[in-house]
């Protein structure tokens, strides 16, 4: 986002917990602080025209205080509440008549009466929808964390017992034929653009690759785009909204919503006329949104993860950059096995060819293979 801001001549001020956080190397100004501290947020607000986000681990009550004292926060609180609370998101998607998995909201977990009531509610839900079901933390989960598939009442009770004080919901376990991500950018006045939905491959809840276009029928892709744009309207989004959807037994189902530029949209840096980062900035500044047309018939983007040897992918740039057309992005994060450290995008004419090249560069950087590849 800071790279895009620089191109437009905009100054980015970043609130960073650690002096080596990724954005500190490219922001115009760095404030040391955390988004859970009122004073840190106030210091940030005093330096900028608009406050926006690259993650959702932000204290919404403090943000609400900022908004009340005149700071422009985009996306706004209403959108952030929906994006940070799965129960709220499911409720609002359902209320708008948009498709999602069946779900029920549970009392917070932990021992005692709340836990027992939650288990009972899971059992009743499973009676309607069948085991297994999926218990989820309504808040704080990401990349597969806070998601627990449970096969029966005992497993449900165990999950709920451990989730002390965590608001929970239960969902039907959906047979996933494919996963798509729909990226939408929306201005305050409601102008909306939708990039072509992409096919994503997740392993263990973590996105490994993004294919553009995916291998699904154009009708499915069009249906996903429509659902994504509708969710952005329901959310009252300003900026980029990423809607992850399942293609399941002939249905498009809303899975997750993120109110920020998203891993599934990194391909847009080279693969679309306007990237998710630039359109996020344009949207939160209420500037005209840019074209989201693709720049090539086929784009593949593969995430770079730390390999088991803990090597720094930066040291392996020579091998990766030798791959024709490989756009390597490294985030400057300390390497750890399994940590997401970057991504590689390749644009071209042939879907198999760009996927092969993107994987070749990602593997050269130390990324372990994905099962099935």
Interface positions with a second copy (CB under 8 A): 2-3, 6-12, 24-26, 28, 269, 273, 282, 285, 287-288, 290-291, 295-296, 313-314, 317-318, 321-322, 324-332, 342, 347
Q: What is the DSSP string of 279-319?
A: HHHHHHTTPPPPP--BSSSEEEEEEEE--TT---GGGGHHH
Task: Work out how close the CB of 352 gets to a second copy at its nearest, in angstroms, rounded to a whole number.
Answer: 19
Q: How far is the CB of 208 from a second copy (least distance, A)?
A: 20
Task: Between 116 and 270, name the residue whose CB sits nearer to a second copy.
Answer: 270
| Paired sense of beta strands 192-194 and 29-32, if any | unpaired
Q: Which is nearer to a second copy, 31 or 317 (CB)?
A: 317
Least CB distance to a second copy at residue 13 (A): 10
Cβ-based nearer residue to a second copy, 324 or 352: 324
Q: How far is the CB of 291 from a second copy (least distance, A)?
A: 5
* Residue of 279, 93, 98, 90 whose CA lies nearest to 184: 279
Phi first, then psi: give them for residue 48, nearest 5 degrees: -135, 165
Nearer CB in complex with a second copy: 50/105: 50
The nearer residue to a second copy, 250 or 318, going by C-beta atoms, is 318
Contact 366, 313 (CB under 8 A): yes
Sign of torsion, CA 312 314 317 318? negative
Least CB distance to a second copy at residue 331 (A): 7
Q: Which CB atom, from 66 or from 294, has the smaller least distance to a second copy?
A: 294
Residue from 235, 103, 109 nearest 170 by CA = 103
Chain centre distance of CA 64: 23
Q: How far is the CB of 211 from a second copy (least distance, A)?
A: 19
Assess contact for 339 and 308: CB atoms under 8 A. no
Between 132 and 325, CB nearer to a second copy? 325
DSSP assignment of 209-228 equals EEEES-SS-HHHHHHHHHHH
Our CB check for a second copy shows the closer of 328 and 362 to be 328
238 or 253: CB nearest a second copy: 238
> In 3D, which of 26, 29, 31 has the Cα closest to residue 3?
26
Helix 60-68 / helix 38-47 crossing angle, nearest 10 deg: 40
Q: How far is the CB of 113 from a second copy (least distance, A)?
A: 51
Tell the smallest beta-carbon distance from residue 12 to a second copy (Å). 8
Coil, strand or helix at 251: strand
Strands 13-16 and 103-106 turn out to be: unpaired
Q: Given the complex with a second copy, which of 120 and 296 has the nearer CB atom?
A: 296
CA atoms of 21 and 253, how far apart (whole Å) = 35
Minimum distance of a second copy from residue 325's CB (angstroms): 5
For 232-248, b/e burial (b = at least 16 CB within 10 A) is: bebbbbbbbbbbbbbbb
Q: Kindly state the smallest distance separating residue 279's Cβ from a second copy, in Å.
A: 10
**45 prior amide bond cis, ω within 30:** no
């Amino acid at each position: 986002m800071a790279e895009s801001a620089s191109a437009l001549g905009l100054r980015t001020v970043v609130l960073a917990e650690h002096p080596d956080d990724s954005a500190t190397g490219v922001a115009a100004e760095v404030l040391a602080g955390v988004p859970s501290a009122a004073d840190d947020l106030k210091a940030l607000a005093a330096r900028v025209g608009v406050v926006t986000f690259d993650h959702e681990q932000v204290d919404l009550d403090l943000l609400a205080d900022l908004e009340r004292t005149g700071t422009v926060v985009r996306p706004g609180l209403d959108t952030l509440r929906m994006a940070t609370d799965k129960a709220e998101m499911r409720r609002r998607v359902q209320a708008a008549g948009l498709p999602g998995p069946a779900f029920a909201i549970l009392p917070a977990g932990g021992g005692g009466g709340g836990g027992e009531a939650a288990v009972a509610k899971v059992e009743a839900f499973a009676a309607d929808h069948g085991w297994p079901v999926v218990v989820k933390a309504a808040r704080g989960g990401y990349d597969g964390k806070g998601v627990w598939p449970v096969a029966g009442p005992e497993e449900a009770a165990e999950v709920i017992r451990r989730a002390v004080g965590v608001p929970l919901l239960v969902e039907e376990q959906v047979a996933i034929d494919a996963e798509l991500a729909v990226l939408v950018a929306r201005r305050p006045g409601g102008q909306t653009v939708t990039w072509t939905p992409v096919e994503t491959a997740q392993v263990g809840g973590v996105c490994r690759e993004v294919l553009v276009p995916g291998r699904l029928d154009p009708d499915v892709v069009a249906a996903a785009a429509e659902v994504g744009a509708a969710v952005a309207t329901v959310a009252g989004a300003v900026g980029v909204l990423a809607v992850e959807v399942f293609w399941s037994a002939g249905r498009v189902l809303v899975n997750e919503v993120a109110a920020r530029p998203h891993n599934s949209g990194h391909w847009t840096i080279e693969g679309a006329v306007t990237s998710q980062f630039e359109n996020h900035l344009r949207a939160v500044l209420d500037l005209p949104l840019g074209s989201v047309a693709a720049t090539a018939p086929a784009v593949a983007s593969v995430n770079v993860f730390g390999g088991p040897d803990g090597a720094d992918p930066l040291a392996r740039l020579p091998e990766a950059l030798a791959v024709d057309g490989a756009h390597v992005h490294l985030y400057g994060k300390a390497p750890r096995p399994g940590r997401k450290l970057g991504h590689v995008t390749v644009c071209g004419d042939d879907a198999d060819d760009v996927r092969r090249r993107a994987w070749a560069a990602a593997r050269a950087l130390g990324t372990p293979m994905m099962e099935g590849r």
